[in-house]
Structure 1
Amino acid sequence: MLNKSAQLISNYSPIKYHHFCLNNTDLFCFRDDFYLCICSENHSRVECFRYDSKHDQCSHCLAGGRCLKGDQVKSTDFICLCPPCHSGTHCQFNSNSFAFTLDQLFFIDLISINRKAIVRLLIILPLVLFLLALPNNLFSIVTFRRQNCLRNGIGQYLLYMSIINQFNLGFLAARLIHLTINITELHSDSSLDNYLCKIFSFLLTSSSRIVYWLASLIAIERVYMTLFLNGR
């Protein structure tokens, strides 16, 4: 298929298309918006067929991937030609060397021979971490809600950090479980997976950054109290 040839012949009648085969010996086939034409072996003539290119169009691929449709009846019969640094059935996984994502970290393991063990690990481990951290964060919340702890900014920051840390572990568990289901194709819904991937990634990144900022504010206030308030 030659896009340049298709643009040139868009205003031609299919009767005159044999000139393209005569003048281009390396040309095997070409098309326009209405016809698909195939050159003969000796390039002396051309055979054109009525063809609607809209039947081959689909929009299931992400990240600018090219979607190629197979069976016209089955909407699930397609393949995505992904751009560089992207992979997956819908080009949904990013392996850019300048970005570090959970997709990049676990993709190879989840398509390997030992993926069953990795799937169990990615589902069980974050849930265990969530349950282990739950009583610790609950006790921290109860402790830092006391009036004595809320008199200064450090106690308030520690209270907020305990709450956000628990949510952060919940977002991590949800993101890993969703990633596992998506890569192993236990459930396939491209639009839903796209939204969930963006939502979980945003919440996980935002909550982590908030914790970093709260830790920085705690350190700044402790330095301020030590230098100017004599540790009071």
Structure 2
Amino acid sequence: MNPRRSTILKTVPIQQDSLTIYWSLPFHLILIEFKNKNYYLAAIKRTQKRSTTYFTMVKSSDHCANINQLFNKTFVQMHIIRRIKYYHLPCQQYLLNLSCFYDDIDLCFCYNLEKQRLANCFEFNHNMTFDCFGESVCENGGQCFQDSPTCPQRTSCICQLCFYGIRCQFSSNRFGFSLDGILGYYFQPNIDVVHQSSMVKISLALIIVFITIGYINGILSFIAFNNKKICEVGCGLYLLTSSITTLLTTTMFGLKFSILLLAQMKIIANRLFLHI
């Protein structure tokens, strides 16, 4: 019987080198998969406990090699039934320090049995389609991941190049100075402002300063030029209009940053509102 497979998508921010995964289902293996079938064996759980905490460090020796790297071309072209009986050999070559390897059908991990080192293989689908069973909310060609094929509780998107956001809704393929393109990659979803990156905190502080100065300037200008005698002159009317424009622009700038921050932190998730 093939093992049940569940998937969770995690992103390691640039400024971090670790991540935390909370998992409520029983498991035996933890595999980390990067793009292009790049697998790492993170942990093997031989006994089941009701609640436990695992700490592990993924090393280069945990990388799962393709059989093309372990055997010659003639061997790889053999039928699976003929070649699989030799799959113990890579595990027994201690110079390789191999944790796992895979072919087109199976994924194998090495384990110790008494004084031998053997391979345990199981069927593994390397070409899964991640579209959340046709209910994908990801945009711009993003892949949709669910934590379980049945009764999923969490959905995440992995974006194509030049797209980002919780639903891959933002694009950076055009040059520009918008807040989305400049700060979008620095926001971390499901994390409050206090624990966001330094770039987000500095940007937030600067924007608060700019908004404060903008409001003070706009309000004082409005008070100074909101006078009938001054407005009788074209220059006075222009300055009054400029003060009102400053207040409106400052307000829109603050709203833009607030919406971007809340959307990236997944506090605002209404798709219709975000498309406005």
TM-score using structure 1 length: 0.49
Q: Indicate the structure with greater helix content.
A: 1
Mark the structure with the bigger radius of gyration.
1
Q: Indicate the structure with greater strand content.
A: 2
